[in-house]
Structure 1
């Protein structure tokens, strides 16, 4: 994600995440190609997918408001459907974490391999 912030600091800021424009992946890939950035499409796509699935990003979508393009300019709004999808993803993530914690307590596994 640091590489994203390096090339597009206006929108990839982990301290102040903003909802991104729908289709931003295409824009990033196109911009990277035009600028001949030394980063592959697979790496970019993976970094973007990781970014938009972070808890902070999902919370930014749930909060609503504007979506932003590569230049940090507003270009559309977060829809109610967007908010609902983000909320559902967070609920599933919390359920998985609770289940993992419960399993660790049941098995006595504290994650320490030493």
Structure 2
């Protein structure tokens, strides 16, 4: 065999080997990549993110009928007189000191002075009347009515003194012994119960001290 024939045979074998190598090589996948959020790791993360939005801070709380009823009903209703005391103590702290500070003797006719501030306080005449009547009843107030003690106005300024008769009556109220008043000397019921006519209310139909700070 000549040299030319050997070279042609060698080239033919080399070409054949290359063709076999191409035929046996693995072919790449032609499948399209899956969209994000549907399959694959990224898709799973996306689903978790959606679930997190529904179950996170924005989720609505589970409100039962029992919880709704508890929220609608106040645990301890506050006496309206106590709320009125709070407004008076905030506006006139000297005349209406908070417990445990002792009460002070109030000016005769203090109700009329308070009434001029009704709009400012956001209170009605009936609310103020009931509050003053209750404030001036009870051992803490009666104990302050000693003979010669200064009566104070809303600003805490002197406005009269406690008389001997006032002090004697306060002691009778503290001891629980009503003062005997002759029938001909009895004042009309309205004058006796109206705080505008007298600071010390009568002992008839007593009302206990209901405010925590009075």
The match for 1:110 is none
The match for 2:73 is none
1:56 to 121, 134, 140: 140
The CA deviation at 1:42 is 0.9
Aligned-partner SS, 1:81: helix
Q: How does 1:5-84 map to 2 (within 5 A)?
A: 5-14=89-98, 15-33=101-119, 36-62=120-146, 64-84=148-168
Please state which structure has a larger fraction of its residues in helix. 1
**Runs of 4 or more off by more than 2 Å in structure 1?**
none
Q: TM-score, normalising length from structure 2?
A: 0.40
Distance 1:20 1:58 in 2: 11
- Name the count of aligned residue pairs: 91
Bigger relative contact order, structure 1 or 2, given CA contacts below 8 A and separation 6+? 1
How big is the alpha-carbon RMSD for the aligned residues of Structure 1 and Structure 2? 1.7
Aligned-partner SS, 1:53: coil
Aligned 8 A contact 1:4 1:47 in 2: no
